[in-house]
């Protein structure tokens, strides 16, 4: 009970309880892990219809240059991330990560050009450190953690139809577009993005109106509340990283197979080559390769292979190669799915490796990510 | 005669062979099961030792042996379809049959009303 006393709650906490959610501590918050529907049906419902997720625990941060110029904020943040932010158009969003001097990953984040400032969304567990990191390194910017806004994710093939009940203009948005729109006369910031592999939206709502907006979306017959349990299996099937599991300060973006997130402007020969922490290692690995890579892993049997299971090159457990960083049962794949790190010698799709589970060595095949076909609206 | 353990296993005694499974309460707490691993027929189990593993989408959990004994039969149906454990945990989704070392050990387990008190 002492643990519960210090847990924070989101603006939707009472709604979760009223919906019968099973609550668990997550990143310092009391969060819904599942509703009465259960993880399996919640996952499948999101892939078939639409799911509503409370992600208000994540950090929403405004970065605004003291000059008031977007370019100054963009160039400042580029000192911390290996991503082209100057070239990001107004009303567009991009994935990135804070790197450290060793080329490791401090956190991953979403970055939006909001005209005269940046809106960045960071992981709940990292948000205090991220804000401190930005404040310490972006002297000519004001960095403000928004404590008065909820964040609601709406994911799935019916997400557009559900959101269209509140705003007909939603159909004009494309993947990674961001718009400020009144929902129920409340100014909300909507991005067409998510963490499920499905088309969908993340909606930033002023705290006082979060329950109204969530309830209005849940009124749609195709929309169900979905907990963190299904959020994890959805993102893993979609091949998306979970910070702290699949990426952290011991993994470089290139080892993590995230090189697609680095645009030309920041790579060798680009207009603003390097200039981010760990650039020497990261650009070096881009040019010369790395010794290990994050890969998809498909267990051949029915047993899920969980994070930290050790991976071997042989069925006797003699040659240790690496470990699983995320693993679960994928309800849409109808079988276990996992991700992990392997030496490049064993990282090609189709390679067989062996995971140690309860004293047995279970065969897994290196598989292309994602495990499902994403339905992003490009 | 139905008996229960504090680890949420049930046990039904016929002669000196006990049929063992997990309780409705345990199945509800675990959520949708996706994998079941059972002991091998002929293996010797000890009271409170690992007997089986069940996995939900989220996590793996151990199932313990309620008493000492030898496994005489396992329920392949729940290996083939783990969701049976969620739908009928105290019926068709039994786990294994155990030939008890000492039948009188059963007297030390909880009856149904004591178990119901435990889970509130």
Host domain of residue A208: 2-56+148-237
Residues in chain A: 378
A371 CB-side CA count, 13 A: 29
Answer whether residue A133 shows pLDDT above 70.
yes
Counting residues of chain A whose pLDDT is more than 70, the rounded percentage is: 99
**pLDDT tens per residue, range A316-363:** 999 999 999 999 999 999 999 999 999 999 999 999 999 999 999 999
Per-residue pLDDT, B120: 86
Q: What is the ipTM of this complex?
A: 0.88
φ, ψ for residue A360 (rounded to 5)?
-105, 160
Residue of A nearest to B30 (CA): A38
Q: How far is A210 from chain B (nearest CA, A)?
A: 28
Exposed / middle / buried, residue A115 (Cβ in 10 Å: 0-12, 13-18, 19+): exposed
The domain that holds B55 is classified in CATH as 2.40.50.100
Q: How far apart are CA A178 and CA A104, in angstroms?
A: 29
Exposed / middle / buried, residue A375 (Cβ in 10 Å: 0-12, 13-18, 19+): middle
Q: How far apart are CA A86 and CA A64, in angstroms?
A: 13
**pLDDT tens per residue, range A62-77:** 999 999 999 999 999 9
Q: How confident is the model at residue A9 (pLDDT cuts 50, 70, 90)?
A: very high
Shared-domain flag, residues A223 and A368: no
User: Could you tell me the CA-to-CA distances from A2 to A23, B62, B120 in Å, in that order?
Assistant: 15, 27, 21
Q: Is B39 domain-assigned?
A: yes
Q: Which residues, numbered 4 to 33 in chain B, qualify as contacts with chain A under a Cβ-Cβ cut-off of 8 Å?
A: 31-32
A232 CB neighbours in chain B (<8 A) are 58
Counting residues of chain B whose pLDDT is more than 70, the rounded percentage is: 100
Q: Can you say whether residue A95 is alpha, beta or left, with left for phi > 0 and alpha for psi between -120 and 50 degrees?
A: beta
The average confidence (pLDDT) of chain B is 95
User: Which of helix, strand or coil describes residue B23?
Assistant: coil
Which helix (H) or strand (E) covers residue A26, if one does? strand A22-26
Nearest to A376 by CA among A176, A161, A226, A95: A176
The average confidence (pLDDT) of chain A is 97
Q: How far apart are CA B81 and CA B63, in angstroms?
A: 17
Note whether A196 and A373 are within 8 A (CB): no
Q: How confident is the model at residue A78 (pLDDT cuts 50, 70, 90)?
A: very high
**pLDDT tens per residue, range B12-64:** 999 999 999 999 999 999 999 999 999 999 999 999 999 999 999 888 999 99
Per-residue pLDDT, A65: 98
Per-residue pLDDT, A6: 86
For tokens 């200039």, the residue is A275
Shared-domain flag, residues A41 and A156: yes
Shared-domain flag, residues A214 and A340: no
Residue of B nearest to A328 (CA): B57
Which of B57, B76, B78, B82 to mutate to test binding with chain A, by most A CBs within 10 Å of its CB?
B57
Answer whether residue A1 shows pLDDT above 80.
no
Per-residue pLDDT, A5: 60
Q: How far apart are CA A169 and CA B30, in angstroms?
A: 42
Per-residue pLDDT, A14: 98
Nearest to A36 by CA among A55, A23, A49, A50: A23
Residue of A nearest to B32 (CA): A40
Q: State whether residue B57 sits within 8 Å of chain A by CB.
A: yes
Shared-domain flag, residues A171 and A315: no
B34 CB neighbours in chain A (<8 A) are 40, 302, 304, 329, 336
Number of domains in chain A: 2
Residue of A nearest to B31 (CA): A38
A329 CB neighbours in chain B (<8 A) are 34-35, 55-57
A331 CB neighbours in chain B (<8 A) are 57
Answer whether residue A3 shows pLDDT above 70.
no
The domain that holds A345 is classified in CATH as 2.40.30.110
B56 CB neighbours in chain A (<8 A) are 39, 329
Output B107 or A2, whichever has higher pLDDT.
Answer: B107
């Amino acid at each position: 009970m002492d643990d519960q006393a210090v847990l924070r709650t989101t603006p939707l906490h009472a709604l979760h309880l009223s919906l019968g959610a099973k609550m668990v501590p997550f990143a310092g918050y009391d969060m819904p892990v599942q509703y009465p529907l259960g993880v399996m049906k919640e996952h499948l419902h999101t892939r078939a219809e639409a799911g509503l997720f409370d992600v208000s625990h994540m950090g929403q941060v405004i970065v605004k240059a003291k000059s008031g110029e977007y370019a100054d904020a963009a160039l400042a943040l580029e000192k911390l991330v290996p991503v082209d932010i100057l070239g990001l158009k107004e009303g567009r969003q991009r994935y990135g990560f804070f790197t450290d001097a060793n080329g490791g990953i401090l956190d991953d984040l979403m970055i939006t050009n909001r005209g005269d400032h940046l809106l960045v969304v960071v992981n709940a567990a990292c948000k205090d450190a991220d804000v401190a990191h930005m404040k310490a390194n972006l002297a000519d910017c004001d960095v403000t953690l928004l404590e008065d806004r909820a964040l609601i994710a709406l994911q799935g093939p019916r997400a557009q139809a559900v959101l269209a009940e509140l705003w007909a203009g939603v159909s004009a948005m494309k993947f990674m577009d961001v718009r400020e729109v009144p929902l129920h006369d409340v100014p909300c910031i909507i991005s067409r993005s998510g963490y499920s592999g499905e088309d969908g939206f993340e909606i930033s709502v002023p705290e006082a109106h979060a329950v109204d907006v969530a309830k209005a979306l849940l009124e749609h017959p195709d929309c169900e509340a979905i907990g963190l349990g299904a959020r994890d299996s959805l993102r893993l099937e979609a091949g998306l990283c979970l910070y702290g599991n699949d990426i952290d300060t011991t993994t470089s973006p290139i080892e993590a197979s995230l090189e697609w997130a680095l645009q030309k402007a920041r790579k060798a020969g680009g207009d603003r080559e390097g200039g981010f922490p760990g650039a020497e290692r990261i650009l070096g690995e881009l040019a010369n390769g790395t010794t290990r890579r994050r890969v998809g892993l498909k267990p051949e049997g029915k047993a899920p292979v969980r994070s930290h299971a050790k991976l071997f090159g042989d069925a006797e457990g003699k040659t240790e190669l690496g470990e699983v960083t995320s693993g679960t049962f994928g309800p849409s794949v109808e079988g276990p799915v996992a991700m992990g790190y392997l030496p490049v010698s064993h990282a090609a799709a189709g390679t067989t490796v062996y995971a140690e589970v309860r004293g047995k060595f279970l065969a897994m095949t290196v598989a292309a990510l994602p495990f499902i076909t994403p339905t992003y609206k490009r | 005669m139905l008996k229960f353990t504090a680890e949420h296993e049930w046990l039904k005694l016929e002669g000196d062979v006990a049929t063992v499974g997990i309780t409705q309460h345990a199945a509800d707490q675990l959520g949708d099961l996706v994998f079941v691993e059972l002991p091998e027929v002929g293996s010797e189990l000890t009271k409170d030792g690992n007997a089986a593993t069940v996995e939900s989408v989220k996590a793996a959990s151990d199932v313990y042996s309620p008493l000492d004994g030898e496994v005489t039969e396992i329920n392949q149906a729940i290996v083939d379809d783990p969701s049976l454990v969620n739908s009928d945990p105290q019926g068709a989704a039994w786990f294994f049959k155990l030939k008890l070392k000492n039948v009188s050990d059963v007297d030390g387990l909880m009856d149904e009303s004591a178990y119901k008190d435990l889970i509130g």
